[in-house]
């Protein structure tokens, strides 16, 4: 940082804000720190009483905050990301499309442990809309050693992208609703509308819903019918508890599906089941999905629609953050539910 006469500061970078005061008319910042001084700025600076100013003289080993922010943002970004222009060194990363936000948080920690560097993000595995601000990158000081930014770029080359948006792939969904009380018409099905609404919000369509009694063979027949119709995901509602009449898990097994997990460390949603018939995901949903606004279903469904194949460890990881506190006003996914 040097003190130089204003007339000699052209091309240099201002180290601090310069304030302009016009009594009764204006009181605010005339030039912000980081501003690269132009020839036409000189008369304006003299008018506000600045004969000498503090400036940085850049060199090949130092980067200004704006350039540093841009390079960090471009290094960490993967597919589905747009950038804003830097503002006071901060560059925002925006979702290019609606999709599932993915954050490599272990690699993110390697970046944020570097002194004078910040990359802040939303939580991984949440659905974000097009244009959503999902992350921001900047440095703490006005200038930073170029080698630190190169270190970040090398981390990203080794680890791959740190932040990206996986697009959602519309799926044809088949629904099997179990329960003798619904099948016989004693009560009206209230599960189907909930499922249709949730999958529709993610761009999917329920192509058929089949009502069955508490019968393993009826469940198997319904699954097979939905497969013939071209279902790319099958959701089976109800019959997931340990009661003798709750035969949904047995019916799913009998269909030939491979069960990945029966039970999840999530409340609400402990009796959740996920299986696969070849590449077709089969989900067994407990009753809580019908009457709780947010459950394990809301944590797993977006991953499937984004093309992920769910593994056992994906379910077990949900335990950390898997307790929904049933807030009076639900703000999911802008909360800690399901965040590891």
Predicted pLDDT at 14: 86
For the segment 59-67, the average pLDDT, to the nearest whole number, is 86
Predicted pLDDT at 69: 96
Q: Tell me the pLDDT band of 99, cut-offs 50, 70 and 90.
A: very high
Reported as a single tens digit per residue, the pLDDT across 216-259 is 999 999 999 999 999 999 999 988 877 766 899 999 999 999 99
Q: What is the CATH number of domain 172-319?
A: 3.40.980.10
Predicted pLDDT at 210: 98
Contact 131, 66 (CB under 8 A): no
Domain spans in the chain, listed from the N-terminal domain onward? 2-56, 62-167, 172-319
Mean per-residue pLDDT over the chain, rounded: 94
In order, the DSSP letters of 181-230 are: HHHTTSS---HHHHHHHHHHHTT-EEEEEEE--S-HHHHHHHHHHHHHTT
How is residue 301 written in tokens?
């469904």
pLDDT at 58 over 80: no
For the segment 50-74, the average pLDDT, to the nearest whole number, is 88
The number of residues in the chain equals: 340
CA triplet 280, 281, 283: central angle to 5 degrees? 145
Predicted pLDDT at 295: 97
Rounded alpha-carbon distances, angstroms, from residue 143 to 3, 14, 61, 138: 17, 11, 10, 11
Q: What is the CATH number of domain 2-56?
A: 3.90.105.10
Reported as a single tens digit per residue, the pLDDT across 129-187 is 999 999 999 999 888 999 999 999 999 999 999 999 999 999 999 999 999 999 999 99
Predicted pLDDT at 251: 96
CATH topology of domain 62-167: Aldehyde Oxidoreductase; domain 3 (3.90.1170)
Place of tokens 């056992």: 312
Predicted pLDDT at 243: 72
At 169, give phi and psi (nearest 5°): -110, 110
pLDDT at 332 over 70: yes
Pairing outcome for strands 52-56 and 13-14: antiparallel
For the segment 50-65, the average pLDDT, to the nearest whole number, is 84
- Sheet with 133-139, strands from edge to edge, namely 81-83, 91-95, 133-139, 117-121
At 223, give phi and psi (nearest 5°): -60, -45
């Amino acid at each position: 940082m040097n003190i130089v006469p204003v007339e000699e500061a052209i091309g240099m970078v201002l180290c601090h804000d310069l304030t302009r005061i016009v009594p009764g008319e204006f009181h605010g910042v005339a030039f912000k720190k980081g501003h690269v001084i132009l020839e036409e700025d000189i008369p304006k600076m003299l008018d506000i009483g600045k004969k000498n100013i503090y400036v940085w003289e850049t060199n090949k080993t130092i980067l200004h905050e704006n350039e540093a922010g841009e390079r960090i943002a471009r290094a960490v970004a993967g597919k589905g990301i747009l950038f804003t222009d830097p503002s006071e060194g901060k560059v925002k990363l925006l979702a290019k499309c609606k999709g599932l936000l993915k954050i490599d948080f272990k690699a993110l920690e390697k970046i944020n442990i570097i002194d004078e560097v910040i990359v802040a993000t939303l939580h991984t595995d949440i659905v974000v809309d097009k244009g959503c601000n999902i992350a921001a990158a900047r440095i703490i000081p006005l200038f930073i050693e170029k080698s630190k930014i190169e270190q970040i770029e090398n981390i990203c080359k080794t680890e791959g992208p740190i932040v990206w948006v996986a697009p959602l792939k519309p799926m044809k969904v088949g629904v099997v609703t179990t329960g003798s009380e619904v099948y016989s018409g004693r009560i009206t099905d209230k599960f189907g509308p909930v499922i249709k609404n949730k999958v529709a919000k993610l761009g999917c369509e329920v192509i058929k819903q089949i009502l069955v009694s508490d019968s393993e063979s009826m469940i198997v027949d319904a699954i097979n019918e939905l497969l013939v119709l071209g279902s790319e995901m099958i959701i089976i509602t109800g019959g997931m508890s340990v009661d003798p009449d709750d035969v949904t898990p047995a019916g799913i097994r009998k269909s030939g599906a491979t069960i990945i997990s029966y039970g999840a460390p999530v409340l609400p949603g402990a009796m959740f089941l996920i299986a696969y018939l070849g590449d077709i995901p089969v989900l067994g949903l407990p009753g809580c999905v019908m009457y709780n606004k947010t459950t394990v279903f809301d944590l797993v469904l977006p991953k499937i629609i984004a093309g992920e194949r769910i593994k056992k460890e994906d379910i077990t990881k949900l335990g950390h953050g898997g307790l929904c506190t049933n807030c009076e006003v639900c703000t999911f996914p802008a909360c800690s539910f399901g965040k590891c």
